[in-house]
Amino acid sequence: MTAIKALARFAWDFVVGDDWRIAVGVVIGLSLTALVAGAGVTAWWIMPLVAAGLLAGSVWRAAGPRRSG
C-alpha cells in the first residue's frame, strides 16, 4: 500500500507539478474548446488564451507580494 501511495504521489508530482491549477485549467480549456468547436463555432483561439492566463497567473502567485510593492 505504501508503495502504491508512493507511486501515485510520484505520478501526481511528475505530471501536475507545483501548481495543480495549471492541470485543472488545461482540462477546462480543452473541454471548452471541444464544446465550442462541436457547436460549429471557431474555437482555435481558446487554448492560447487559456495557456497565457494560466502561465501568467501561476507566475504571479509564485512571485508573491513584491510585484505590487
Partner 1 sequence: MTGSELGLAVSVFVACAVEAVEALTIVLAVGVTRSWSSTWYGVGAALAVLAGLTAALGPALTSLPIGVLRVVVGGLLLVFGLQWLRKAILRASGLKALHDEEAAFERERSAAGSVGAVAPGFDGYSFTVAFKGVLLEGLEVVFIVLTFGANQGRIALAAAAAAAAVLLVVGAGLVVHAPLSRVPENALKFGVGVMLTSFGIFWGTEGAGAHWPGGDAALLAIIPLTLGFALAIVAATRRRPGDGVQSGRDQSAVHA
**What is the binding site for partner 1 (CB under 8 A)?**
10, 13-19, 22-23, 26-27, 29-31, 33-34, 36-38, 42-44, 46-48, 51-52, 54-56, 58-60, 62-64, 66-67
Least separation, in Å, of the C-beta of 62 and partner 1? 5
Least separation, in Å, of the C-beta of 4 and partner 1? 18
Least separation, in Å, of the C-beta of 66 and partner 1? 7
Q: What is the C-alpha separation between 52 and 15, in angstroms, rounded?
A: 19
Q: What is the C-alpha separation between 43 and 69, in angstroms, rounded?
A: 38
What's the grid cell of residue 54? 494560466
Residues 6+ apart with CB under 8 A from 15: 23
